[in-house]
Chains A and B, each alone.
Chain A
Amino acid sequence: MAEAQTIPVGSTTSGQIAVAAESTVATRMSAPPSFDVADFPVPHGREEEWRFTPLERLRGLHDGSAVATGDGMKVEIEAPEGVTVETVGREDARVGRAGTPVDRVAAQAYSAFEKATVVTVPKETVLTEPIRIAVHGEGGTAFGQQIIELGAFAEAVVVIDHTGDAVLAGNVDYLLGDGAKLTVVSVQDWDDKAVHVAQHNALVGRDASFKSVVVTFGGDVVRLHPRVTYAGTGGEAELYGLYFTDAGQHQEHRLLVTHNTPHCKSNVAYKGALQGDAAHAVWIGDVLIEAKAEGTDTYEMNRNLVLTDGARVDSVPNLEIETGEIVGAGHASATGRFDDEQLFYLMARGIPEYEARRLVVRGFFAELVQQIGVADIEERLLSKIEEELEASVA
């Protein structure tokens, strides 16, 4: 059921893969979930959930020393007709309903934000245009809470774009009513110095479909924690991710799907390319199938393509199953170097090296990009991938 492999990476690259042996979803967190930052000790870096993260580069988000600047962060929301956008206080019933902070930074964000933004698509409203949320950092530090709520049988696409320079701890909650369909594309296209830590909680209603596409290109440190739970039977979650980790960047994606109701599906597929010295990508893929979640069907996959020497990947898939009455469960992780034989084959057909690399990397991501289903985002991603590759050649 489990497959984990390392394609030989040669003696000079540090690309590697680690597979968790005994650590389990329930025990790997050092404190139970809480909305209060005081319930979490300041991490020192050896905790299971922090051991890959460069704490010294979090600009104080983890130890209470980061203070909101009040400005230096712009959020613009473009919502089609029929969608409501409001700001609410912590006491609003929707705030925190999708999930509870599981680490100190998420709790810090929850404890420190001033107003939460709630975007609501009323029941049975089917949007033809995406909701666009542009988060642009202008050097500030911010704590945020966004909630996207879809009523029963509503359908929407939400694009959340992160650009500029910022220190941001911002949680995002997705509440899906029964039969609702939500696609969320979260693009982290930050400038080089940005630090972004966030927990994404999705609560998937009965027969609802949630599709999350996480795209991380920029930033100094990006650490995202997408999580899914189900509010009823028949729910589906597809979690896709693409990342392109450059020299010096730390990009960490920690996923947890909790199958807590029967007959739900989940499919996780994350792919990353790395290039340059000290490029570090971390992927943690946890799936928990609780005893009552009979009929679960789940698969998670992580693939990494190491383009140059000096990059590092930590990929840790973990599947915890408390019932045997399931349709299927599996995971796979593989990290490989750029294949010199592929390069030779293409070049032997006259294709210059740069163009050959571009073809291979585009091919590596293509299958995943096609899953997004939002044409302008697909185009943008492909051209962004090309841009990244061009930068590496220059």
Chain B
Amino acid sequence: MATLEIRDLHVTVEADNATKEILKGVDLTVKQGETHAIMGPNGSGKSTLAYSLAGHPKYTITEGTVLLDGEDVLEMTVDERARAGLFLAMQYPVEIPGVSVSNFLRSSATAIRGEAPKLRTWVKEVKETMEQLHMDPSFAERNVNEGFSGGEKKRHEILQLELLKPKIAILDETDSGLDVDALRIVSEGVNRVRETGAVGTLLITHYTRILRYIKPDHVHVFADGRIAESGGPELADKLENEGYEAYVKGGASA
């Protein structure tokens, strides 16, 4: 069973000619089949955790370990992490001019699966998954993220999640900027993947709204670069009612 183990993770970033510590000792274990919600105020380091796990060059790991099934993730390049089974659904996916969605998806699936998917079954697989996400077939011929609306970008991220079938999926504020319909469609996609039992999900969000569609097993409150409190789904209800004030220094919300 796939397990992601994060131990005492410290991460810094260079900003304004100064080194700033963003993550200050994160401990978290995510197992296949589990869903963990990470919730926290803006600036608490939630997205830094997501991008550090994926290997974004902007972030420097200064301490700690990250293991995926015992393998040292921090030693891997960005593409190796993805091939090892880590997936990050990004909050702000970038445009790639001149590269079509279909070409991109096939290149990616080829890399992750270790061989080019058979054309006939692949076309069917993509088509069906797109239908479930209410995406028009013409979408495949557009350039990656170019001119996509906010909702289209997120659907495209979840389309990749469904096709690439990772061991561990990190969803970075996938709910932000979505209207209720889009949120439902995207959540259904995430749930289809979760229901296979083959993925451990790390759901990073600012709002409790998405938790009405995606039920977490564990809820963690993130504050000032570490997990401040962990609990079951009831913790989300508490946050819904009381907000993050109790976790922000001096009680003042940022």
Contacts and interface: CB of A to CB of B under 8 A. Distances in A.
B160 interface: yes
Nearest to A367: B98
Given A344-B57, A355-B107, A359-B107, A350 B98 contact: no
A3 interface: no
Contact of B111 (A342, A344, A352, A364): A352
A78 interface: no
11 contacts: A342-B94, A345-B94, A347-B55, A347-B77, A348-B54, A348-B88, A349-B112, A351-B79, A362-B98, A362-B99, A363-B96
A347 B97 contact: no
Nearest to B99: A363
Contact of A350 (B57, B99, B111, B143): B111
A348 B82 CA distance: 6
B98 A345 contact: no
Nearest to B88: A348
B82 A364 contact: no
Interface residues of B, number: 29
B94 A350 contact: no
A363 B90 contact: no
Interface in B216-238: none
B192 interface: no
Contacts of A347: 55, 77-79, 82
A327 interface: no
Contacts, number: 79
Interface string B65-92: 0000000000001110111000110100
Q: How large is the interface on A (under 10, 10 to 19, 20 to 34, 35 or more residues)?
A: 20 to 34
A365 interface: yes
Determine which residue in A339, A340, A345, A355 has the highest number of CB atoms from chain B within 10 A of its CB, and name it: A345
A26 B17 CA distance: 47
A348 B78 CA distance: 6
Interface string A350-383: 1111011001101111110000000000000000
Interface string A332-346: 000000011110111
Contact of B96 (A345, A352, A365, A367): A345
Interface of B: 54-57, 77-79, 81-83, 87-88, 90, 93-99, 103-104, 107-108, 111-112, 143, 160, 164
Given A345-B90, A345-B93, A350 B54 contact: no
Interface of A: 339-342, 344-353, 355-356, 359-360, 362-367
A348 B93 CA distance: 11
Contact of B99 (A341, A352, A359): A359
Contacts of A365: 98
Contact of A364 (B83, B87, B97, B160): B97
A353 B99 contact: no
Contacts of B99: 359-360, 362-363
Given A348-B81, A348-B88, A353-B77, 7 more contacts: A341-B94, A344-B78, A347-B79, A348-B79, A349-B104, A359-B103, A364-B98
